[in-house]
A and B are shown apart, each in its own frame.
Chain A
Amino acid sequence: MAEILFELAGISKSYPGVMALDDVSLRVYRGEVLGLIGENGAGKSTLMRVLGGVIAPSEGVIRIGGNDYARITVNEATQAGIAFVHQELNLFENLDVAANVFIGREKLMGGPLKLVDSAQMRARVTPLLERLGADFAPDTLVEDLSIAERQMVEIAKALSIDARVIIMDEPTSSLTISETERLLEVIADLKAHGISVIYISHRLGEIMTCADRVVVLRDGRTVGELARNELSHAAMIRLMIGRDLKALHTPPKYPPQPGGCDIVGVVTSAFPDRQVDLSVRHGEILGLAGLVGAGRTSLARAAFGVDPLLGGEIRIDNAPIAIASPRDAISQGIYLVPEDRKKSGLVLELPIRENMTLASLLDHARMWLVSGAAERKVAKEQVRRLSIKAPSIDMEVVTLSGGNQQKVVLGKWLSMKPRVMFFDEPTRGIDVGAKSEIYALMRDLADHGVAIVMISSDMEEVIGVSDRVAVMHEGSVSGVLEREQFSEYNVLRLAMGQAQETAEAAAP
């Protein structure tokens, strides 16, 4: 390993209340494949966005070609030869391959009209596609390409700007096995040509195959580095975990009661070839862990009737129930606190009062006419119960803080009769104080017999709040842990698709 291409030194990035990156240093050598791993929210994507010039670090130095920069712009990053292959591919589906490769840098014909020279662009893209072994023409529309092929377009784009390092963020999450192998071959080829690759993935097997070196991030810090000969699943997982989890857990007042919600062989549109089986008892909080995109949100959406159930059934107290819409789910007492509260949980421009009663308005109406008094009473009751900080229940929800907005979403459901509640990332973007209030509230609901499923990517939350944890991996449940088996190590192994037996045996 000779030449250092780029170096990030002492990079920190703080957001209000959150330290996303804390004194991270990273070197990229010429012609190496650097694996970058860490849990959800460990800071991988933030770090790469610093390198790509998308966000400016609060502290630290970016060293490119011997020069130090406090921050770089996207253009400077591109000029320095840093290219991204995005997790969600950033391509224009309505344009052809050549146009996408040269987007923003179109080749022009001479003359005052500045017409785009498509022929020249196609001619330049052809050799790049050949080099990548792609079997589609440069004038193919991107919408006609598979995801793997689109990735090749992104890589071709990187090659066209003479990239020296290509950052791949979860490149294989939507690829088949053979497509993945093809990608790994391409990476080996890039490396042979002296191009470095930063490979971010949760799939440790792939990391083992292609990486020369692995850097592990945790909580915004670099926690370890493994050379090629030190790589092993256990070594990587051990580095990814290991922070002190605060004891958040409040034990339930009563043991879980019989009955509850059973999800039996459910198939969702996100993973049409997988089935999910899951049970949650009345009175318990079931944590639902897994990597982003493991199918947890899809499951909650299907159970709540937002997305169709492609198979299987949902039972409450052993009685199968038909759910074709959120309305059906709500009438059965199944409620969802959605992942994106601003988009799906609230009508931001309406007042607190109207949001609180949106789902139960017919209960506060006589002959379809809204009873203002009944409505105000409910809204005030919830505002008091949840200690929502707002000058009046007529305030538009958009003016509230994130934590208070989330409480309005909760208030909407608490004024009704929940039997099963799904919380999807209930504390994302919420300050610490409101977090503990929401945990206390979930526990209280459980103690009153509600079956609670808490989807969370926050390991501390999963381990601290849940009574049991189910872990999903690529569309199905890979294991269920009882409290005494709780550990970050076990959850993570299951989330990465390792069998549970080994998880228990290998618990540190």
Chain B
Amino acid sequence: MIRKELGLGLLLVVIAAITGAINPAFLSLVNLLNMANLIGLFGVFALGEGLVIITGGIDLSLGSMFALLGVVFVDLLTTYDVPWPLALAAVLLGGLVLGGIQGFLITRLKMQPFIVTLCGLLIYRGAARYYTSDSTRGFGYGDEAATLSNIASGNVAGIPNTFILLIVLALILAVLLHRSVYGRWLYAVGKNEEAARFSGISTNVVIATAYIISGGLAGVSTVLFVFYTNSVSPSSFGNFYELYAIAAAVLGGCSLRGGEGSILGIVLGTALLQVLQNLVNILGIPNSLNFAVMGTVILIGVLADQQLQARRRRKLALAGLARAAPKSTLAEQVQGASPRPADALPARTGDRA
């Protein structure tokens, strides 16, 4: 379904061109690089959210996960002087474990994803605030993790590392999702879990893995955001971020019913969201309208997509009717364009089973 991504990319270009025409500052290198950085930051965990949405589930806990993992991460580096590779590993592991727990509750204990991750949202946020007594944690003047900080917030030839990381992760996940056996199973489970199970797919494992990957990517995002803001305020760090991810995934073509979406779409969805935010700033639209603009664009985007799909289905149905009249079929083409009578079947099946 590459058409959807093409449309989204086109929309992105058109919006960028119009905004650039109104205010050339939009297309300035500084602004573009700044946007690239934000796209990188918000894209990484949107990828994970997208995988979860393809299973037909949802992950509402991401923002709170950032807060909890964030305070732990800063504390490990500053209070406990843990070497940064260990702290990094701990945060990544933490994300994987939280994702694993949610996946377990959803698949094995048959709880609804919305409820499990909503409770995750509340619990992680509460835990982060309790752990820090609601005080902001930040880095001191020391360079507790200068190396990691440089990697997370640095750039290569001007291109933000966050953006580069997003592209690398997107490529890896694109292969996983669109080329690997796991990806095929993920779509099948999202579309029709029962048929997938009847085909011998361990649907629970497939679904839980999506939540684990999402948790792991949340761990990566935590580190990126910590070095972006240089401090973690447990009550506001990452607030609403899961909604950005859901919005990006939906805008990028993921259906909340499951089984639909692509990595390219999610990346483009994230980019579009960031461009919209930037556009609000740069066109002098009151900042308070930020969310309203985002909401309107998503609404219109999804509506337009549905209308287009309905039209496509009508076309397909018509084509199906036309095909009902005898015409050459694949089976016949392969056999040299002569429909064989049904009773000839056994002779042909003799070489198998």
B353 touches A445 (CB 8 A): yes
Stretch at the interface among A176-184, A265-273, A339-347, A483-491: A339-347
* Separation of A436 and B341 alpha carbons in the complex (Å): 11
Which of chain B's residues have a CB closer than 8 A to the CB of A304? 198
B331 touches A388 (CB 8 A): yes
B198 touches A327 (CB 8 A): no
Which of chain A's residues have a CB closer than 8 A to the CB of B175? 369
With A344-B195, A358-B196 already in contact, the answer to whether A368 and B202 are too (CB < 8 A) is no
Which residues in window 199-257 of A have CB below 8 A to B? none
Stretch at the interface among A138-146, A378-386, A455-463: A378-386
Which residues in window 150-206 of B have CB below 8 A to A? 175, 179-182, 184-185, 187-188, 191-192, 194-202
- Residue of A418, A433, A443 near B342 (CB, 8 A) is A433
* Separation of A344 and B342 alpha carbons in the complex (Å): 26
Chain A residue nearest in CB terms to B324: A401
B343 touches A440 (CB 8 A): yes
Please indicate which of the listed interface residues B195, B201, B348 has the most CB atoms of chain A within 10 Å of its own CB: B195
With A327-B201, A362-B181, A368-B180 already in contact, the answer to whether A343 and B194 are too (CB < 8 A) is yes
Q: Does B286 contact A (CB under 8 A)?
A: no
Which of chain B's residues have a CB closer than 8 A to the CB of A343? 192, 194-195
A306 touches B353 (CB 8 A): no
- Residue of A348, A390, A441 near B349 (CB, 8 A) is A441
Q: Does B350 contact A (CB under 8 A)?
A: yes
Q: Does B259 contact A (CB under 8 A)?
A: yes
Which of chain A's residues have a CB closer than 8 A to the CB of B110? none
Which of chain A's residues have a CB closer than 8 A to the CB of B194? 343-344
With A347-B188, A437-B345 already in contact, the answer to whether A444 and B353 are too (CB < 8 A) is yes
With A344-B195, A347-B191, A369-B181 already in contact, the answer to whether A391 and B329 are too (CB < 8 A) is yes
Q: Does B3 contact A (CB under 8 A)?
A: no
* Separation of A137 and B285 alpha carbons in the complex (Å): 64
- Residue of B198, B346, B348, B352 near A443 (CB, 8 A) is B346
CB distance from A237 to the nearest CB of B (A): 34
- Residue of B185, B343, B348 near A361 (CB, 8 A) is B185
A interface residue count range (under 10 / 10 to 19 / 20 to 34 / 35 or more): 35 or more
Summed over the interface, the residue pairs from A and B with CB atoms below 8 Å come to a total of 134
B202 touches A390 (CB 8 A): no
CB distance from B21 to the nearest CB of A (A): 40
B179 touches A369 (CB 8 A): yes
CB distance from A54 to the nearest CB of B (A): 27
Which of chain A's residues have a CB closer than 8 A to the CB of B197? 306, 325-326
Q: Does B2 contact A (CB under 8 A)?
A: no
Q: Does B284 contact A (CB under 8 A)?
A: no
Q: Does A365 contact B (CB under 8 A)?
A: yes
Q: Does B299 contact A (CB under 8 A)?
A: no
Q: Does B140 contact A (CB under 8 A)?
A: no
* Separation of A434 and B200 alpha carbons in the complex (Å): 26
B181 touches A440 (CB 8 A): no
Q: Does B292 contact A (CB under 8 A)?
A: no
* Separation of A327 and B196 alpha carbons in the complex (Å): 10
Please indicate which of the listed interface residues B175, B323, B342 has the most CB atoms of chain A within 10 Å of its own CB: B342
B188 touches A358 (CB 8 A): yes
Which of chain A's residues have a CB closer than 8 A to the CB of B323? 391
With A361-B181, A369-B179, A414-B353 already in contact, the answer to whether A326 and B346 are too (CB < 8 A) is no
A–B pairs, 18, beta carbons within 8 Å: A347-B191, A358-B201, A361-B185, A365-B181, A369-B180, A370-B179, A384-B331, A384-B334, A384-B335, A385-B349, A389-B329, A391-B327, A414-B353, A436-B342, A440-B346, A441-B345, A441-B349, A443-B346
Q: Which 4 A-B pairs have the closest CB atoms?
A: A330-B200, A359-B199, A448-B353, A358-B199
